[in-house]
């Protein structure tokens, strides 16, 4: 899971800029709208809405924005119809890439994603070509700060975590999807500095890349993330610390 974790850390670091944050709010708004349309506007009975609201709060999204998104999803405010879609493809050296998007124009989004793949040494594949290489997991990012990492890991396991990985300034806590909220709540009661909690597609195995294809893959992943319609990008590409430093 190390490549997935490092890519997740990169995204968290980039999200601090105003431009990235504005784009992040757009993505979070889309996610709230869709989950409300699918499961209703009551977060007490809509698990995905609870997660989406918490994710928005973790990202310091204003409450007014969250409430407007819920109203748009419930039909109180007008807005474009958004559909969920998952696109699958291959990066340099055959690495697997999953792109989860919310779009009001499927054909346009598919074409935009296809163009990015083509320009960066990859290609869009058929439905099901790489999805089997990933598992759906809950992912909680905890800042290590001055904490005892081993103690933190033990507390996460006691809280119900399936796995724990240490990556630089973060500890990644993996859970079963349905236990994400329970584990998060347990860690919050321990006053641990939780940075985010979300459902994530985690690769079953990793593919280690040499420098040139690794940098090419990082550019590909970054460009996919920049599309407003794209909500999540997952890959089984593994990157060494030296390559990540060079890319950043």
Q: How confident is residue 153, by pLDDT bands cut at 50, 70 and 90? A: confident
pLDDT at site 107: 95
Across the chain, mean pLDDT equals 86
pLDDT beyond 70 at 149:
yes
The H or E element that residue 211 is part of is: helix 211-226
> Per-residue pLDDT tens for 166-204?
877 788 899 999 899 899 889 988 888 888 888 889 999
Residues 209 and 219: their CA atoms lie apart, in Å, by 14
**Both 209 and 126 in a single domain?**
yes
| Closest of 162, 154, 118 to residue 136, by C-alpha | 162
Per residue in 98-118, pLDDT (tens digit) is: 999 988 899 999 999 999 999
Residues 115 and 238 in one domain: yes
Say whether both 220 and 120 belong to one domain.
yes
Residue 137: per-residue pLDDT? 93
What CA–CA distance (Å, rounded) separates 82 from 197?
A: 23
Position with higher pLDDT, 236 vs 7? 236
Q: Quick one: 61 and 88 in the same domain?
A: no
Predicted TM-score (pTM) above 0.95? no
**Nearest-CA neighbor of 174 among 199, 150, 155?**
199
Say whether both 116 and 210 belong to one domain.
yes
Q: Which domain holds residue 21?
A: 2-74
Q: So what's the pLDDT on residue 195?
A: 81
Same domain, 124 and 227: yes
- The answer to whether residue 82 scores a pLDDT higher than 90 is no
Question: Which pLDDT does position 181 carry in this prediction?
Answer: 87
Separation of alpha carbons 225 and 44, rounded Å: 30
State the total domains in the chain: 3
Q: Where a domain ends, among 51, 74, 97?
A: 74
Query: Do residues 197 and 153 both lie within one domain?
Result: yes
Query: The domain that contains 68 carries what CATH number?
Result: 1.10.10.200
What pLDDT sits at residue 124? 96
Residue 34 binned pLDDT confidence (cut-offs 50, 70, 90)? confident
């Amino acid at each position: 899971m190390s490549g997935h974790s490092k890519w997740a850390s990169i995204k968290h670091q980039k999200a601090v800029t105003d431009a990235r944050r504005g784009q992040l709010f757009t993505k979070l708004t889309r996610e709230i709208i869709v989950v409300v349309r699918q499961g209703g506007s009551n977060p007490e009975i809509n698990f995905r809405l609870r997660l989406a609201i918490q994710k928005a709060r973790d990202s310091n999204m204003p409450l007014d924005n969250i409430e407007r998104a819920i109203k748009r999803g419930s039909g109180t405010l007008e807005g474009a119809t958004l559909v969920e879609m998952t696109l699958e493809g291959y990066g340099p050296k055959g690495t697997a890439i999953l792109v989860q998007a919310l779009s009001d124009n499927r054909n346009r989004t598919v074409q935009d994603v296809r163009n990015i793949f083509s320009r960066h040494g990859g290609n869009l594949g058929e439905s099901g070509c790489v999805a089997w290489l990933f598992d759906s997991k809950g992912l909680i990012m905890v800042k290590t700060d001055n904490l005892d990492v081993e103690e933190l890991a033990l507390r996460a396991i006691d809280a119900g975590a399936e796995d724990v990985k240490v990556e630089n300034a973060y500890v990644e806590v993996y859970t079963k999807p349905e236990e994400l909220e329970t584990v998060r709540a347990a860690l919050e009661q321990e006053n641990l500095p939780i940075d985010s909690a979300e459902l994530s597609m985690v690769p079953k195995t990793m593919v280690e890349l040499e420098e040139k294809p690794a940098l090419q893959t990082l550019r590909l992943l970054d460009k996919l993330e920049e599309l407003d319609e794209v909500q999540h990008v997952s890959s089984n590409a593994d990157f060494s610390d030296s390559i990540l430093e060079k890319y950043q």
